[in-house]
Structure 1
Amino acid sequence: MFVLFLFVALLAALFLLPGKKLKKAGINLPDQSARKRLWQIILFISLIMMMLSLRLAPFALIIFLVGLGVIGNSLWQDHMKSAEDLDEQDIPRQPSPRLSSKMTVEEAWEVLGLSPDAQTVDIDAAYRRLMGQIHPDKGGTDYLAAKINEARDLLKKELPPEA
């Protein structure tokens, strides 16, 4: 009986390996969280049964508690991932036509928060300050970063070169 539970545990552990390791072994399975959770349950049940067959009830209880934690964590991660997917679906995919049109010089001054009498140094300082706040690597969006880049480039092109 112990050998059967050991075999099932090893089989379940094999299918819990990351997808890359399975592909190297020539096994192509879709990486689905439900399939993974099923194999986790099978693994923990077989480990618990092995411990009980060896009359090691305290170890079986410990494995049961660890299994609850692992499977609960897996469920929580799936829940959070689906919540993120819902949040992303609420974001409009295309900006409004007015926002996607070519930027005017007045809009560029407004985007950078500067007045028309600002110099190239002021433009560069405002650009660095804003990009430090809204860069995509810091939680901002590509769209906002592109608008700030467009504003800086437009204003630098419009200003006469400094001597």
Structure 2
Amino acid sequence: MSRIGKLPIKVPSNVQVEINEQSIHISGPHGKLFKKISNSISITIDENTIYVNKNDNTRIANQLYGLTRTLINNMVIGVSQKFERTLQLQGVGYRAQLKDKDLILNLGYSHPVLIEIPTGIDIKVEKNVGIIITGFDKELVGQLAATIRNKRPPEPYKGKGILYKGEIIKRKVGKSGK
């Protein structure tokens, strides 16, 4: 039994929730999100609190129970507060800059890496080595951060690459130059 699925979701006063059969629409000051819900899960709302329930007791319903509750909770938090992910560039000559709706990264390749910023996402560059990604969709923010990090993942010998803020790279010992 899911312990997470049983928890109610508190809805802030500045967020509107609309439930239509097997879909949920959540809108707030930062944006609007929509999610289709499986037929084995039902959603009810009562006095600014959302409850998620299982319609049947199958294995798939048990798997979707906690997942659905977490996704709806992330939607409520996103439209009311936004999500943020911070990346750090470490390496000589590594830098980032914004140009129109594109993020340009110089990562030691022979060419600059161009990443298009999706709608609903805001990016700020601090001191040419810090990238702050904010948005109301947690999945989109995390996916963009992972895409950027994948352009030059941190390597264990010198620690160069793109790291999440607070990430610690376990360093390896190099050759023993005899």
Fold-level similarity (TM above 0.5): no
Tell me the TM-score normalised to structure 2 length: 0.22
Tell me the TM-score normalised to structure 1 length: 0.24
Which structure has the greater CA radius of gyration? 1
* Structure 1 or 2: more helix by fraction: 1
* Structure 1 or 2: more strand by fraction: 2
